[in-house]
């Protein structure tokens, strides 16, 4: 058995072309992640083009072409297995990885910096803080007020 939270199967990701889920970081903030097929299974990436914070999967699956993720805003393409971009407005950038593990065809979230909030996008999430987030903490770590 693999440590981590079960997400889906490699077969599901390959059939759909991509698979979207939402994670919560240690501060309770939500972020979307896409799983995309690779020759060795799947890779997980934050669902955001580093050029202008454009969502790569806007709820209909990530646009994929020849093993690359296509940014819907400017058409830059990212290697689905390495995350690198060498063309368009996002050239020279890299997608932010999220660690996943594949075990016997099942995909698990193995990145310990986040927890699974839900399948699908942020709009599908329960936006209340996670049970393990301390509600007594301030909403900001800054001591500066405006």
Residues 14-46 have pLDDT tens digits of 999 999 999 999 999 999 999 999 988 999 999
At residue 1 the predicted structure's pLDDT band, cuts being 50, 70 and 90, is: low
Q: Is the pLDDT of residue 129 over 60?
A: no
* Cα–Cα distance, 4 to 95 (Å, whole number): 22
pLDDT band of 67, cuts 50, 70, 90: very high
Domains of the chain: 5-124 (2.102.10.10)
Q: What is the CA radius of gyration of the chain?
A: 16
* Whole-prediction pTM: 0.83
Neighbours of 12 (CB within 10 A): 15
pLDDT score recorded for residue 128: 54
Residue 15 is classified by DSSP as H
Q: Is the pLDDT of residue 140 over 50?
A: no
Mean pLDDT, residues 51-69: 94
Q: How far apart are CA 78 and CA 99, in angstroms?
A: 17
On whether the CB atoms of residues 106 and 9 are closer than 8 A, the answer is yes
How far apart CA 86 and CA 93 sit, in angstroms, is 8
Sequence-ordered list of residues with C-beta below 8 angstroms from that of 39, at least 6 positions apart, any chain: 81
Query: What's the CA gap between 78 and 95, in Å, rounded?
Result: 8
- pLDDT, position 146: 42
Q: pLDDT (tens digit, 9 = 90+) per residue, 90-116?
A: 999 999 999 999 999 999 999 999 999
* Contact assessment for residue 139 and residue 133, using Cβ atoms and an 8 Å cutoff: no
Name residue 102's beta-bridge partners: 107
């Amino acid at each position: 058995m693999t440590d981590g939270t079960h997400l889906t199967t490699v077969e599901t990701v390959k059939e759909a072309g991509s698979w979207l889920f939402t994670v919560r970081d240690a501060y309770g903030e939500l972020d979307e992640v896409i799983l995309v097929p690779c020759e060795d299974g799947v890779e997980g990436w934050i669902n955001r083009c580093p050029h202008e914070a454009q969502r790569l999967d806007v709820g209909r699956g990530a646009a994929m072409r020849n093993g690359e993720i296509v940014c819907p805003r400017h058409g830059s393409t990212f290697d689905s297995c390495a995350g690198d971009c060498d063309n368009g407005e996002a050239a020279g950038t890299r997608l932010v990885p999220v660690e996943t593990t594949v075990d016997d065809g099942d995909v698990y979230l193995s990145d310990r910096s986040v927890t699974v909030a839900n399948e699908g996008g942020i709009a599908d999430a329960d936006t209340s803080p996670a049970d393990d987030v301390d509600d007594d903490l301030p909403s900001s770590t800054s001591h500066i007020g405006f």
